[in-house]
Homo-oligomer: A and B are copies of this chain.
Amino acid sequence: MMSFLSPLVFLGAPLLPIHFAAEVAGEANAGVDEAPLILAGVLLSLIVIYFASKVGEELCSRLNLPPVLGSLLGGVVVGVSALHLLMFPEASATEVTPSVLSTLLQATTDTTAGTATSVAAGYSEVISVLAELGVIILLFEIGLESDLSELIRVGPQAAVVAIVGVVAPFVAGTLGLIYLFHMAAIPAIFAGAALTATSIGITAKVLAEIQQLSSEEGQIIIGAAVLDDVLGIIVLAVVASLAKTGEIQVNNIVYLIISSVVFLVGSIVLGRFLSPYFTALVDRLNTRGNLLIASLIFAFILAYIATAIHLEAILGAFTAGLVLAETDKRQELEEQILPIADMFVPIFFVCVGAKTDVSVLNPMVPENREGLIIAAFLIIVAIIGKVITGLTIVGKPDLNRLAIGVGMIPRGEVGLVFAGVGSASGALSRPLEAAIIVMVILTTFVAPPFLRIVFSDAEAEGDALGTIASGSSDPVEATVSTVAEDLEQES
């Protein structure tokens, strides 16, 4: 019973007392001292995440790249691809390399190697949930900053962009793989489906960074990305069922379509109807955090309902933000959500980077090469297939249609789910799976700077006279704009 004097007893003292007390009181199992160690692991992970995110963001900001790209790259540096500081045990089922962080934790506390593994599983899980809360809060913030009537106004355009952005890369990718690479239909369809996704998180973050979220282009992109998220869920259902049974389960598809429409329309209509009562209720609350907590309850309820009806939590959070943006509390709530988003959102982006294994990009490894060739094709289709979506918008000469197409490029995490599901079903060969991953990485990391260039390009054109008159205040930005213009003239 040496453990009573062991420091681990003290670590747990004020933090998880009853859990701890109960465990000590009950069967003294191996889990006794894990809780405080999990907290220590979470603290260390957050230190690493914030450090990686801030260093990455600052470097990118100085290179005139979007800060969010810095968070992603910072994640890559500390994650599975390089420093192994931030590891997710689930991602390394085959190799059992302990993370550097877990080793540090072992060295600075009195953990045994055996406990270390289960402690690492514990704090990785917590960090994963924090990352998920991060993207939920990001989408809530994006919803708050969006304009529902503007979204409804641009709805038809957004719908066209979303549908073309799903159909074009799917058809081009699938047919290309079948006819150019002589693949079988099922794997080609899977890869084509992986090309359809759009990562709303990355695009929305960049748009917010360059203050284009509330522009007409920004709202079309957000609207299309939200619809694309719903379409992505449906496409995945279709493809997965096709890969498994060779046929399409119509019931499921119909269910998904109906529940998406009912959820999105229903919560907005009901939300608009109920929001005066919400405001009145908040005004009657007189304890600290009245608006914030009431809003979080609302956002988390919609996120949970979205999850329960097999949509995604982020769709619920976005809808909640949209509804609350209609109330007269919008300004106050936005100010309060800002620091919370600053705290949570980097966790999401760093984790996305940390979980991405960029070693498949290395052409020096012979087995990567076949995948890289297929990847080159997929990347071209992925970019062109989304960029052309902007061209579908007619009768709006002032609109930056290139920016809309570019905004749809990043596949982000959604594309990786296709790769995972496809690979598990046995439909994808190893090179094709690697190619999909490479395509996702490239489109995700390349879109933020592209998006910035096409927007600052438009601004530069618009401000051309003004800039000449006043002299450019930011030579770097001016250079980037020029490069962007050159790029556009070439294309």
- The verdict on A343 contacting chain B, using a C-beta distance below 8 Å, is yes
| Segment 106-132 of A: residues with Cβ below 8 Å from B | 108-109, 122-123, 125-126, 128-129, 131-132
Give the interface residue-count category, chain A: 35 or more
Interface of A is mostly: helix
User: In the complex, what residues of B have CB within 8 A of residue A131's CB?
Assistant: 15-16
- The verdict on A346 contacting chain B, using a C-beta distance below 8 Å, is yes
> Could you tell me if B126 and A5 are in contact, using CB atoms closer than 8 angstroms?
no
CA distance A451 to B48 in the complex (A): 40
CA distance A25 to B434 in the complex (A): 12
> Could you tell me if B304 and A47 are in contact, using CB atoms closer than 8 angstroms?
yes
User: In the complex, what residues of B have CB within 8 A of residue A288's CB?
Assistant: 67, 209, 342
> Could you tell me if A42 and B133 are in contact, using CB atoms closer than 8 angstroms?
yes
- The verdict on A229 contacting chain B, using a C-beta distance below 8 Å, is yes
Would you give the 0/1 interface string for A234-261, flagging 1 where the beta carbon is closer than 8 Å to chain B?
0011001101100001001000100000
Number of copies: 2
- The verdict on A329 contacting chain B, using a C-beta distance below 8 Å, is no
CB < 8 Å neighbour of A44 from B12, B296, B304 = B304
| Segment 5-21 of A: residues with Cβ below 8 Å from B | 5, 7, 9-21
User: In the complex, what residues of B have CB within 8 A of residue A342's CB?
Assistant: 288-289, 292-293, 336
CB distance from A436 to the nearest CB of B (A): 10
> Could you tell me if B46 and A300 are in contact, using CB atoms closer than 8 angstroms?
yes
CB distance from A85 to the nearest CB of B (A): 14
> Could you tell me if A14 and B292 are in contact, using CB atoms closer than 8 angstroms?
no
- The verdict on A153 contacting chain B, using a C-beta distance below 8 Å, is no
> Could you tell me if B129 and A57 are in contact, using CB atoms closer than 8 angstroms?
no
> Could you tell me if A14 and B312 are in contact, using CB atoms closer than 8 angstroms?
yes
> Could you tell me if A421 and B91 are in contact, using CB atoms closer than 8 angstroms?
no
- The verdict on A425 contacting chain B, using a C-beta distance below 8 Å, is yes
- The verdict on A450 contacting chain B, using a C-beta distance below 8 Å, is no
- The verdict on A489 contacting chain B, using a C-beta distance below 8 Å, is no
Instruction: List the B residue with the shortest CB-CB distance to A237.
Output: B5
User: In the complex, what residues of B have CB within 8 A of residue A233's CB?
Assistant: 10, 13
- The verdict on A147 contacting chain B, using a C-beta distance below 8 Å, is no
User: In the complex, what residues of B have CB within 8 A of residue A241's CB?
Assistant: 4-5
